[in-house]
């Protein structure tokens, strides 16, 4: 199959829909699933795969944002604040690129993923447990009006939550941006555990807010890839359309799934990615890309 053929377009669109569905539910960029699929299953050049992935991330972010905003899951004020830390971290990663051996970076990232999975595992509680989200008041969260609430269809109640440890959250977002920039890995896989554990947000709010944030970062990177000529319209179009549909459906499923089950799924993904990073470290830092 060649890029642009009907069979190729349909299969890539369906694959992107599945990736967008998973990304929309977990607050991760669909590119972390799309790039390996395009390279390994369809034989697409890595540069074109990453370029199409960036377009899919923008589409995934827009698709999930529409549904998440409708259901009041996204904390826009918090997303804008945390994006400052992520952007500064990404710039730092660009400056430090090439300073550290790739194998050691992959090993470090695998350890971070395992720690994040452990923290999320410890936090497991029953769905809709209100005490899970009532952390101590944070003066910056109060001043910036970051505390909010969302309707929980599982319990038919309004779930109020407080944003805790804003300063720690900014530091973790900075670290997530730096590590993701160094490795070419989407920072959503680190943002969601950080918001879930450090900021003590409901996992649904963490996922929706992360999806809102990754679109902003991807839009900046996509411009660079477009100028380089690495974004092929015949490849990016089915990837974007599938991702948008999948992300929209994923967020709909997110609203109707318990916090406990979403956290379990995310832990499984974190463990799988940690294993992937350990293998990359043992192989000397092979290319592991996904925006």
10 Å CB burial of residue 16 (0-12, 13-18, 19+) is buried
Q: How far apart are CA 56 and CA 63, in angstroms?
A: 10
Question: How distant is the alpha carbon of residue 120 from its chain centre?
Answer: 16
Residue 253 in domain: yes
In a domain, residue 288? The reply is no
Q: At what angle do helices 102-122 and 188-197 cross, to 10 degrees?
A: 40
Instruction: Give the integer Cα–Cα distance in Å for 25 and 250.
Output: 5
Residue 240 counted as domain residue: yes
Q: How far out from the chain centre does Cα 179 lie? A: 14
Longest Cα–Cα distance in the chain = 58
Q: What is the C-alpha separation between 247 and 243, in angstroms, rounded?
A: 6
Whether residue 177 contacts residue 88, with contact meaning beta carbons closer than 8 Å, is answered with yes
Per-residue pLDDT of 99-155, as tens digits, reads 767 677 778 778 877 877 877 777 654 444 444 555 567 889 999 999 999 888 777
The token duo for 94 is: 């660009």
Q: Which two tokens stand for residue 102?
A: 């790739």
- Token pair, residue 251, equals 């967020």
Q: Tell whether 121 is covered by a domain.
A: yes
Is pLDDT larger for residue 131 or for residue 257?
257
Q: Which of 14-23, 59-68, 224-233 has the highest mean pLDDT?
A: 14-23
User: Is the pTM for the entire model greater than 0.75?
Assistant: no
Cβ(176)–Cβ(146) below 8 Å? no
pLDDT of 26 > 90? The answer is no
| Residue 290 within a domain | no
Which of 159, 119, 127 has its CA nearest to residue 261? Answer: 127
- Asked whether residue 224 is assigned to any structural domain, the reply reads yes
**Which pair of tokens denotes residue 244?**
């948008």
Segment 202-252, tens digit of pLDDT: 888 888 888 888 777 677 667 777 887 888 889 989 998 988 888 888 877
What does the alpha-carbon distance between residue 49 and residue 52 come to, in Å, rounded to a whole number? 5
Residue 289: inside a domain: no
Give me the pLDDT at residue 170, please.
93
Q: Is residue 187 part of a domain?
A: yes
**Residue 131 CB neighbours (<10 A):** 7
Domain coverage including residue 266: 6-282
90, 183 Cβ separation under 8 angstroms: no
Number of domains in the chain: 1
Helices (H), the chain: 6-26, 31-40, 46-70, 76-96, 102-122, 139-143, 166-183, 188-197, 203-228, 233-255, 259-282
Under a CB-based contact definition with an 8 Å cutoff, are residues 35 and 50 in contact?
yes
Express each pLDDT in 165-188 by its tens digit: 999 999 999 988 887 767 656 667
């Amino acid at each position: 199959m060649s890029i642009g053929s009907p069979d190729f377009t349909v299969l890539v669109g369906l694959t992107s829909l599945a990736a967008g569905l998973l990304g929309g539910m977990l607050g991760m960029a669909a590119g972390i699933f799309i790039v390996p699929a395009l390279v390994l299953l369809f034989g697409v050049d890595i540069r074109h795969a990453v370029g199409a992935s960036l377009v899919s991330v923008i589409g995934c972010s827009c698709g999930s944002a529409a549904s998440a905003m409708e259901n009041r899951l996204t904390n826009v004020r918090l997303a804008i604040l945390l994006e400052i830390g992520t952007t500064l971290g990404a710039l730092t990663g660009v400056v430090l690129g090439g300073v550290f051996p790739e194998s050691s970076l992959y090993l470090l990232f695998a350890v971070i993923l395992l720690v994040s999975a452990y923290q999320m595992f410890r936090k497991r509680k029953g769905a809709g447990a209100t005490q899970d989200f009532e952390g101590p008041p944070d003066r910056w969260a109060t001043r910036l009006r970051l505390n909010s609430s969302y309707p929980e269809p599982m319990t038919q109640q309004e779930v109020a939550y407080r944003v805790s440890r804003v300063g720690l959250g900014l530091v973790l977002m900075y670290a997530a941006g730096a590590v993701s920039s160094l490795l070419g890995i989407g920072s959503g896989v680190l943002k969601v555990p950080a918001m879930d554990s450090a900021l003590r947000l409901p996992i649904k709010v963490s996922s929706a807010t992360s999806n809102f944030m990754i679109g902003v970062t991807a839009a900046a990177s996509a411009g660079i890839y477009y100028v380089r000529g690495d974004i092929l319209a015949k490849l990016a179009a089915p990837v974007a359309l599938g991702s948008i549909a999948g992300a929209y459906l994923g967020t709909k499923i997110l609203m109707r799934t318990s916090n406990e089950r979403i956290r379990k799924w995310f832990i499984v993904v974190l463990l799988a990615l940690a294993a992937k990073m350990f293998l990359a470290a043992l192989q000397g830092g092979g290319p592991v890309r996904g925006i």
